[in-house]
Amino acid sequence: MIGVLVDSGDRETAREFFELFKTPWEFYRQDRHYEVLLCVGEGKFDRTAKLGILYASSKTEWDDDHQTECCQQRPTRTLLYQGNRIPIYGNSVTFPEKGAGLLEDEESHEPMAHIARFGERWLARIGYDLLSEIRTLLTVVNPLSTPPYRHWNYILRY
């Protein structure tokens, strides 16, 4: 079961996203233990999950607590992931001190994600707001006319 911790304004987007993929999930409850906890925003979350995934487009309390440098907060950039280009429409940050990363900014090649291990627990810190990006894709961007998403035309027909 995935626990999802989001601001109240993001709950509908989170619900749409997880139900679309038929993923077992629930909004975070303090009385539950989660194998995976997905947090979007400030990073004030229960750190007992085996895997925490923290999405935020600006410096968070977690970054301050772990002396993680964040820079280059800016809107619209392109990420590189295994040779693929991923457009980011909202604000995002990079983590220049973290070396090579899973995701990197196409221009600066600075990492936009990093993974930290704390004993038996892992945390993936990703430098953009996942739900804001999903909301933008669902309500603003026309995926059929945006070059990185041309393949959606094929997917939507079947």
Contact 92, 112 (CB under 8 A): yes
| Residue 73: C-alpha distances to residues 76, 92, 124, 148 (Å) | 10, 5, 19, 23
Number of neighbours of residue 44 by Cβ within 10 angstroms? 11
The Cα–Cα gap between 121 and 131 comes to 24
**What is the model's pLDDT at position 3?**
94
CA 116 to chain centre: 15
Domains of the chain and CATH, by start: 2-157 (3.40.50)
Segments of the chain assigned E as strands: 2-5, 25-27, 36-40, 51-55, 71-81, 84-94, 104-105, 113-118, 121-126
Query: 41 by DSSP, 3-state: which?
Result: coil
Angle at 49 between CA 44 and CA 51, to 5 degrees: 95
Q: Are residues 40 and 58 in contact, defined by beta-carbon separation less than 8 angstroms?
A: no
Over its length of 158 residues, how does the chain's per-residue pLDDT go in tens digits?
Answer: 899 999 888 999 999 888 888 889 999 998 998 999 999 987 676 677 899 999 999 888 878 877 777 776 677 889 898 889 999 999 999 887 776 668 898 988 889 998 888 888 998 889 999 999 988 888 876 555 555 444 444 444 43
What does the pLDDT read at residue 43?
Answer: 63
Name the H helices within the chain: 11-20, 61-65, 130-139, 152-157
Local structure of residue 149 (DSSP, 8 states)? G
What confidence score (pLDDT) does residue 142 get? 58
